Amino acid sequence: MKRTMGNSTHLTHFILSAYFDTGHLKYLYFVIVLLLYVLMLVSNVLLIVVICVNRSLHEPITGIFPSLLIHILTDIHTVSVSLCFLQIYCLHFYAVVEFLTLTVMSFDRYFAICHPLQYNTHMTRNRISVMVTAPWFYGFLYVSVLISITSSLHLCGNNINKVYCDNYPVVKLACSDTTAVNIYGLIGTFNAIFLPLVLILYTYMRILKVCFSGSKQTRHKAVSTCTPHLASLINFSFGCCFEIITSRFNMNHVPDILRVFISLYFLIIQPLFNPLMYGLNISNIRNKQQAEQIPPSPGTRPLKSQEK
């Protein structure tokens, strides 16, 4: 929807054109997404309760689903400009914090496996606080500036070919110079994705070196410790790739239902996947003194057997 003011056009709404007519099946889709949303909330809240008791990490779990459910159930697929930018903020903030948190976790795994005797020396309470807080602070700062630059663009259209708002599709609607937002986006991508991936690769190379030169018990503990983190990293990377593909490439040749699924993969799979992977280790979290437990999470002490 547009509102003409003098010689300029002021957008009041964006049209989410990726939705398609599903007839009465929309109620089925609504129920499926609602159940997934409730399951995602319940599983993450339960895991966070356990994590709070045991002093581990948290993650964002929701931000776009209420609006998504409304769009599925109704035939009105428009979103106000303010709500659209709010969705963009939640989406990018979640992505940045998730990736940087996975980087922090990889360093925790690295020190726990490669330097177990010096774990408490390296991972002090103050250092842990900085490492856990830094992703949230950087995410807030980066996304706030990104939204500020994007919202200042002059837009000549309001059709977004997705089921929710994303920054790049909005930038593509601009008829003003987008150099600043493109350069800033590349810098942010390097800092939030490429550089963390390099650091994660470095930590896993060091962990593999220890595994190959260590005992069978060391390899077993390393595998049991790193598998949930590595699986979460791979899954989230797939979600990011799907998100980039649906945002930057023409998906009109892809079937509607597949295009929507690819768009929702980034939002649904990771929040459902993490509680499953890390929840499998709840018994180990609760029994830290057992030999089969995982190496300590940030803020916890290493195994007594490792301290000897």
- Sequence-ordered list of residues with C-beta below 8 angstroms from that of 53, at least 6 positions apart, any chain: none
Q: Is the pTM of this model over 0.85?
A: no
Give the domains, in start order, of the chain with CATH numbers: 2-307 (1.20.1070.10)
Is residue 293 very low, low, confident or very high in pLDDT (cuts 50, 70, 90)? very low
- The string of DSSP codes covering 255-286 is -HHHHHHHHHHHHHHHHHHHHHHHHTTHHHHH
Is residue 262 very low, low, confident or very high in pLDDT (cuts 50, 70, 90)? confident
pLDDT digits (tens, 9 = 90+) for 170-200: 888 888 888 899 899 888 888 888 888 888 8
Specify the pLDDT at position 71: 73
Phi, then psi, of 14 in degrees rounded to 5: -110, 150
Sort strands 8-11 and 2-5 into parallel, antiparallel or unpaired. antiparallel
